Amino acid sequence: MYPAAFDYYAPASVSEALSLLAKNGDAKLIAGGHSLLPQMKLRLATPSALIDIGKIADLKGISDLGDKISLGALTTHHEVEHSALLRNSCPLLPEVASHIGDRQVRNRGTIGGSLAHADPAADYPAAMLALGAVVEVQGGSGKRTINADDLFTGLFSTALNSNEILTAVHVPKTDAKGNGVAYAKFPHPASRYAVAGVAVWVNIQNDTVQDIRIGVTGASDHAQRATKAEAALKGKPMNEDNVAAAAKLASDGLTTIGDMYASSDYRAHLVQALALDALNKAHHRAHGWH
């Protein structure tokens, strides 16, 4: 099937893109296009116009901002995976990017497009929650920031307004002593999306968990934190018994979904198993036991 007819625009700046959005009520932004174009081919999406932001230079690049790293929305998964800066200072993101799709997808897909699309089985959302990332968005009334905890609101839904563009992602550096990160995923064998995925960031000092964040993707209609598992470990030694007990709580509070491939109960089980794997890896990495 062919897409319905549409107008095509290629703005050179964010302000020009925002102006086009304002003039074309049902227009869609496009960057890598891996999510939108298949929907258009099936006529599940029929926008009257596409606004291609792929040529906007201000949305590209990975920058060191001192205590954090900024990624332009057009940063590709390949660039995230192979960034020396990220591998040294925020290794969770390259690890997660390496799990996305295949080589073709990683070369074209963008971090901003993935987050704005908010597919419930996408990989990045779990990492954003685990890292406590912040996204920067720009609309007709100016710029604002959204914490990752508030970004994902439902099935393919985010806190972005329809007239806003996600312009950048800010993530903290996690290379200080005592920090450990990990991502564990059970991929769908065809799509490579996460049937379930768990990302962990933990800070351990004097053998005690000072802080921890656990993000879960794939299991529910949107990515969420496993707050009960976090609470079970915070302030305690990260020993085998405590980690096992926390992992069993990783699916508590999640309304897990079921489909033809995996039932709701199976996804809940996967979350617990993946949480155990990710927590153990993050623990080892926090101590330098690679």
Considering the domain architecture, whether residues 191 and 261 belong to the same structural domain is answered as: yes
Residue 252 is predicted with a pLDDT of 97
pLDDT score of 112 more than 70: yes
Q: Please check whether residue 83 is in contact with residue 64, taking contact to mean a CB–CB distance below 8 angstroms.
A: no
Residue 182 is predicted with a pLDDT of 98
Considering the domain architecture, whether residues 115 and 211 belong to the same structural domain is answered as: no
Residue 275 is predicted with a pLDDT of 98
Considering the domain architecture, whether residues 153 and 210 belong to the same structural domain is answered as: no
* CATH code of the domain in which 140 resides: 3.30.465.10
Give Cβ neighbours of residue 235 (< 8 Å, ≥ 6 apart): 208, 209, 210
Residue 132 located in a structural domain:
yes
Classify 132 in phi/psi space as left (phi over 0), alpha (psi -120 to 50) or beta. Answer: left
Considering the domain architecture, whether residues 63 and 44 belong to the same structural domain is answered as: no
Residue 2 located in a structural domain:
no
Considering the domain architecture, whether residues 157 and 215 belong to the same structural domain is answered as: no
Burial 175-204 (b: 16+ CB within 10 A, else e): eeebbbbbbbbbbeeeeebbbbbbbbbbbb
Considering the domain architecture, whether residues 29 and 133 belong to the same structural domain is answered as: no
Domain of residue 140, residue span: 59-172
Considering the domain architecture, whether residues 140 and 204 belong to the same structural domain is answered as: no
Percentage above 90 pLDDT, the chain = 87
Residue 44 is predicted with a pLDDT of 86
Considering the domain architecture, whether residues 279 and 187 belong to the same structural domain is answered as: yes
What's the number of domains the chain is made of? 3
Q: Rounded to two decimals, what is the model's pTM?
A: 0.96
Averaged pLDDT score across all residues of the chain = 95
* Domain end point (choices 140, 172, 204): 172
Question: Which residue bears the tokens 């604002």?
Answer: 144
Which pLDDT band, with edges at 50, 70 and 90, does 1 fall under? confident
Determine the average pLDDT of the residues in 271-280: 98
Residue 206 located in a structural domain:
yes
Determine the average pLDDT of the residues in 114-127: 96
Residue 3 is predicted with a pLDDT of 86
151-206 confidence digits (pLDDT tens): 999 999 999 998 999 999 999 999 999 999 999 999 999 989 999 999 999 999 99
Residue 34 is predicted with a pLDDT of 76
Of the listed ranges 63-67, 127-131, 139-143, 213-217, the least confidently predicted one is 139-143
Considering the domain architecture, whether residues 70 and 155 belong to the same structural domain is answered as: yes
Residue 140 is predicted with a pLDDT of 87
Selection from 166, 185, 202, 14 nearest residue 98 by Cα:
185
